[in-house]
Structure 1
Amino acid sequence: MVGSINGLICLSHELREKLIILWNPAIDKYVRLPVPAPARSIRSHSPECILGFGFDSRTYDYKVVRIVYGLNTFESEVDVYELSTGMWRSSIGSAALPYPMIVCHTSHVFVNGASHWIARRGNGYLILSFDMCSEVFKVMMPPDAVANGGPVLRLSVAPFGDYVSLFEYRCGTIMSCCIWVMKEYGVASSWTRLFIVDIGRRSKVLGFRKTGEVVVRMDDCSLVSYGPNSKKDIGISAKQYSFRLVPYLESLVLLGRKNILKGPIM
């Protein structure tokens, strides 16, 4: 699940690069995107594909952005799909990327009109954003305690209302996750640490509830809700990689559009 916006969910298959779907579960309709193959020079270097899903408020259109890069080369491609046209375009050159980025985690969040991913630069971390209106990449710095790497095991981004949040996993005597929120968009000094939760080594923080508590997938694949001073079993369990937590609101997006499919996706 790449993301959810206005009742429309973007799905992809990490082992099948050409499978990208926009699905509206409220009306049980979806569109399967035609995905162009990357350039031959990239295909020959074990290409990785990173996706983002967002909404262009200027044109009132839904967009999917695809970043393809070779693991053994700095070459990359950036393609943008527009739901209104049903087509991809490759108008963004690799020069638009501020660095030869290697995205180390595939978590993605759409906030403030832009898609965001965790990226790695040297021994440190940063957040790469892509504005869906201007189609420009920018770099956002994480908290100082996170930027230089150190004992950080992994990072992920998630929405916290209209804010960007950051989950910082560290391993000491026990595994812990520090919850950060950027209170003023784009201002690195506005990062605020909300609280820290102690979790298992295979646990994962999935996102926020409306109450501000975080939902954690525990080692035994159950879901637990954590607050600064609370812990509550939600009563749901499943396979380890079955859970994603995204904002969702029913809508009629895709209703009445041509070339829309109905029924089972796979």
Structure 2
Amino acid sequence: MAQSSKLVEEMVAQFLSRLSSKALMRFKCIRHCDGIICLSTFLCDDRDIALCNPSIKEFNHLPKSCIHLPPQDEDDYVHECNVGFGYDSKAKVYKVVRIVDFSSSHPPRVEVYTLGADCWRENKAFVLGTISSPRSLHMHFKGIYYWSGFSYITRELQYVLFAFDMSDELFYLIYPPEVAFGIYLNLAMWKESLLLITHREEAPKCFDLWLNEDSDFLKGSWTKYFTIKPIEAYIPLVFWKSNEILMVNVDRRIVSYNLDTQMLKCLPIHGAEDPLCIYAINYVNSIISVKRNNKLECVETYI
């Protein structure tokens, strides 16, 4: 596990070294699926997304966007890009999806990259809202990538989860439990189920665990499963054992909370100086290549 962690750090350093100072300031997040790491920034240019496989020490910047972006003027420019990465079990391929969000009246545009291809292709799926996705609310789970955001499908903006199905390449809206509005949310995977963790800002915190019991996870069928009693924890990270979740405590140390014993255990893990920049993933080794090798016809599309 320590060797994998070191290799991931090396890949991240390699990605950052190739970015401009402007891009470095906007470095966004890390995504993971089956041993492949996807790195991205907020930018929408030809150097803003990379795939790497630490197990076989492969690294690859993705090709230039197929969407011809407008110039950054006062009326119309790209606000930001949101990226998802996951596995299409029907086609048996890995895909990256990028949503280009404009600050003007233009609707978001979507493009999809298939691992091994040499270009992006635009997708005409509608994004009925604005993705505003903090680190805690984006993840891939069973062929679906999730972000948080606000939907304008009705006259009033509604807080929702956006779900992109990697197989049919369509967006779906999932509504969180009503009690979740106005409090902090985290998504997690737990025992092959999608889990929503809710908590308020004040400390010590109570954390409510909500299970999505729908078979395809695309409906807001949330049931409160468990409540973590008030503890001196700050941010939930990831379940690393069947009954234990990694968290950052108020002292900015990594701790593990056991659901059975309801006890916190401090772990000898350093680097949580800024809890808002901490990522935790259950990494697995992979021999899948992230290199481009299929020559497909690339077509730029214009706004």
Does 1:162 pair with 2:196? no
Tell me the equivalent position of 2:270.
237
Q: Distance in 1 between matches of 2:207 and 2:72?
A: 36
- How far off its partner does 1:175 sit? 4.0
Does 1:135 pair with 2:165? no
Tell me the equivalent position of 2:221.
189
The number of equivalent residue pairs is 251
Give the secondary structure class of the aligned counterpart of 1:157.
strand
TM-score scaled to structure 1, two decimals? 0.82
Tell me the equivalent position of 1:13.
41
The structure in which a higher percent of residues are helix is 2
Q: Distance in 2 between matches of 1:54 and 1:196?
A: 30
Q: Distance in 1 between matches of 2:232 and 2:68?
A: 39
Tell me the equivalent position of 1:262.
none
Conserved? CA contact 2:42–2:82, under 8 Å:
no
CA 1:250/1:172 → structure 2, altered by over 3 Å: closer, same or farther? closer
The structure in which a higher percent of residues are strand is 1
Tell me the equivalent position of 1:264.
none
Query: Which of 164, 187, 211 does residue 242 from structure 2 map onto?
Result: 211
Gaps of 5+ in 1: 260-266
Tell me the equivalent position of 2:51.
22
Q: Distance in 2 between matches of 1:172 and 1:218?
A: 13
- How far off its partner does 1:214 sit? 1.5
Does 1:117 pair with 2:147? yes
Q: Distance in 1 between matches of 2:278 and 2:48?
A: 20
Percent identical residues:
27
Q: Which amino acid aligns with 1:100?
A: G
Query: Which of 60, 85, 89 does residue 92 from structure 2 map onto?
Result: 60
Conserved? CA contact 1:115–1:131, under 8 Å:
yes
CA 1:104/1:200 → structure 2, altered by over 3 Å: closer, same or farther? farther
Q: Distance in 1 between matches of 2:142 and 2:277?
A: 28
Conserved? CA contact 2:208–2:224, under 8 Å:
no
- How far off its partner does 1:255 sit? 7.5
Q: Distance in 2 between matches of 1:100 and 1:255?
A: 32
Give the secondary structure class of the aligned counterpart of 1:145.
helix
Conserved? CA contact 1:30–1:254, under 8 Å:
no
Conserved? CA contact 1:27–1:255, under 8 Å:
no
Gaps of 5+ in 2: 1-28, 295-303
Does 1:76 pair with 2:108? yes
Give the secondary structure class of the aligned counterpart of 2:251.
coil
Conserved? CA contact 1:110–1:116, under 8 Å:
yes
CA 1:167/1:255 → structure 2, altered by over 3 Å: closer, same or farther? closer
- How far off its partner does 1:87 sit? 1.5
Conserved? CA contact 1:47–1:69, under 8 Å:
yes
Q: Which amino acid aligns with 1:243?
A: I
Moved more, 15-24 or 79-88: 15-24
Q: Deviations over 1:135-162 (max 9, x none)?
A: 011111212312xx2x31x323222242
Tell me the equivalent position of 1:101.
130
- How far off its partner does 1:59 sit? 1.7
What is the CA RMSD across the aligned residues, in angstroms? 2.8
TM-score scaled to structure 2, two decimals? 0.73
Tell me the equivalent position of 1:223.
254
